[in-house]
Chains A and B, each alone.
Chain A
Amino acid sequence: MNSRPEVAPLQELLTRFAAALRTGTAADDAARDMASQIVDDGLEPGRRLRIYRNNVQAMFYGALSRTYPVLKATLGDATFESLAREYRGAHPSRSGDLHWVGQALPDWLHERLADDEDDSWLADLARLEWACEEALVARAMQPLQRDALASVPPEQLADTGLELQPAMRVVSSPHPIWSVWRAHQPGCDVEGMDSAAGPQHVVVACIAGQLALRSVPREPADFIRHLRDGGTLGAALDASTLPVAALPGVLDWMFEDGLVVGLRPAATPACTGGAEA
């Protein structure tokens, strides 16, 4: 028989440990409580526990850094780290897969910066980076060739819809987010960034394993949004104010970029290529 104290039930022990790993001042109190459950061999238990507390925050910060490299570069390491800590308090990780911890950041940042005229655009930049992240891990469908549209009788064209790559996103901002994003890519020059370019609209997709971003005018961006939301070519054209004369050119690059994966004939269920790329 030994004279050591009763063994704390596993659930109680892990709950106390977990409380010490969270953010905020309550976690500091919990850490003092948890330290009493740690062997003291001359190195203060609180210092040992702090290694885990730091690791957990570092893992979260590292995941956000990988998802939002341009936002991090724009804000600077110290500000981004502070932001990550605050964000973790509002949106702690809900998965064992760290990939998803940054999912709520754009909306959270939007709320956080709503009253900040100078920095509110950073939420749009975050939205663009999250769109890239989603595109990079999404299932890609086999692109449809441009010729497929030629098979549609002219009188049915306006009532035909286009099925687009599921992970394609269109991100718009009154700020030149694409210029900022591009300036931070390898081989580009941040100094040469055109920060006065005005509003920008970016189509994001992953084609043949490569992230593909295209900056487009507002009208094609709206046109693609309407198509993505189920609109027919005619309805999307009307709603977007895209000039009819510009339509062939827009369709050309949509097909060239592999964004179109199927046609949705008038008044029939969706008919897509259906095969994974």
Chain B
Amino acid sequence: MSSRVPGASIPASAGIGLRSPHYAHVAAGTPAVAWVEVHTENYFHDGGPHLHELERVRESHALSLHGVGLGLGSVESLDRAHLERVKRAVRRFEPALVSEHACWGHSGGEHFNDLLPLPYTEEAVEHLSARVREVQDFLGRQILIENLSSYFAYSASRLTEWEFLAAVAERSGCGLLLDVNNVYVNSVNLGLDAARFIDSVPASAVQEIHLAGHRRNPVGGRDILIDDHGSAVCEDVWALYARAIDRLGRVPTLIEWDTDLPEFEVLLAEARKANAILERCGELAA
């Protein structure tokens, strides 16, 4: 490929989720964005302006490819054509990180195009670990698995979410992508202890953090948080993030904003807030 500058690793600072209205801002490089992440499926095609724009951004920015459509934990076999396209995107863009979700997504030939939760059972750990190994073998590299936001808990679950993720990471060799907003969303939706999650997730496995906004939906006389990535990170999530950084150290952190996309400057301001927390951690370490 052409003379790409970064690529081997993601800087331990804040990056942004790159969406098409912001291509020109990022490619221009002023002000600088440390790194970007895109949804892998948006770059599956044979040509077109999106591929061209990402090639341009990639010349000067480290990249993470984040998949949303593989449905890793589905009981039916993985869609090999989809996986082949992931591999093609990895070859084309040479990302520093490749990630997916601890979810399922298809059954009976129908894809639901949503990140659907798995029960936290020993069987599901084995199943998801095998799938992650299958993907890593096919791609020839490690992937990261992200924790989900959830709107219900299975009666069948026997493990905590962090125990589930830790077991999958250990058995498959994958890394973890810790979505702090999702931890917070689940704490409200399911009455879980967010701080305990942050304190218990296997530190050595976490290679990336996601931060995003959510919206409150009244359901049955209480608030349910919907993980819509359509607003600024809330103060409770910033506090959890600071707790995570205190424990995990400087971890590359992504500002995700996918709906009701704001001006680019708003994303940069969110990234600056994350960087301030990351830098404070660096000072403490020094």
Report the bound CA distance from A43 to B152 in whole Å.
Answer: 10
Tell me which residues across on chain B come within 8 A of A233, comparing CB atoms. Answer: none
Chain B: number of interface residues, binned into ranges: 35 or more
Interface pair A138/B154, CB less than 8 Å apart: no
Interface pair B113/A93, CB less than 8 Å apart: yes
Does B114 sit at the interface, judged by CB under 8 A? yes
Q: Give the shortest distance, in Å, between B238 (CB) and chain A (any CB).
A: 25
Of A44-52, A174-182, A183-191, which binds chain B?
Answer: A44-52
Tell me which residues across on chain A come within 8 A of B191, comparing CB atoms. Answer: 41
Does A122 sit at the interface, judged by CB under 8 A? no
Of B194-202, B207-215, B219-227, B269-277, which binds chain A?
Answer: B219-227
Q: Give the shortest distance, in Å, between B99 (CB) and chain A (any CB).
A: 15
Of B119-127, B170-178, B249-257, which binds chain A?
Answer: B119-127
Q: Give the shortest distance, in Å, between B283 (CB) and chain A (any CB).
A: 41
Contact residues, A151-171 vs B (CB, 8 A): 167
Interface pair B226/A51, CB less than 8 Å apart: yes
Report the bound CA distance from A99 to B85 in whole Å.
Answer: 13
Q: Give the shortest distance, in Å, between B59 (CB) and chain A (any CB).
A: 16
Interface residue total, chain A, C-beta cutoff 8 A: 52
Of B25-33, B74-82, B229-237, which binds chain A?
Answer: B74-82
Chain B proximity mask over A106-122: 1 for CB below 8 Å, otherwise 0: 00000000000000000
Interface pair B116/A99, CB less than 8 Å apart: no
Tell me which residues across on chain B come within 8 A of A4, comparing CB atoms. Answer: 155, 158
Interface pair B107/A14, CB less than 8 Å apart: yes
Out of A10, A44, A56, A92, name the residue touching B127 (CB < 8 Å): A10
Report the bound CA distance from A97 to B40 in whole Å.
Answer: 9
Report the bound CA distance from A63 to B42 in whole Å.
Answer: 12
Does A87 sit at the interface, judged by CB under 8 A? no
Tell me which residues across on chain B come within 8 A of A5, comparing CB atoms. Answer: 155
Interface pair B41/A138, CB less than 8 Å apart: no
- Taking CB as reference atom, which chain B residue is nearest A166? B46
Q: Give the shortest distance, in Å, between B133 (CB) and chain A (any CB).
A: 17
Interface pair A15/B107, CB less than 8 Å apart: yes
Does A82 sit at the interface, judged by CB under 8 A? no
Report the bound CA distance from A176 to B70 in whole Å.
Answer: 40
Chain A proximity mask over B24-62: 1 for CB below 8 Å, otherwise 0: 000000000000000001001111111010000000000
Out of B46, B113, B151, B154, name the residue touching A96 (CB < 8 Å): B113
Chain B proximity mask over A1-39: 1 for CB below 8 Å, otherwise 0: 000110111110111011001100000000000001111
Out of B75, B109, B151, name the residue touching A15 (CB < 8 Å): B75
Interface pair A9/B41, CB less than 8 Å apart: no
Q: Give the shortest distance, in Å, between A166 (CB) and chain B (any CB).
A: 9
Does A59 sit at the interface, judged by CB under 8 A? yes
Does B265 sit at the interface, judged by CB under 8 A? no
Interface pair B127/A94, CB less than 8 Å apart: no
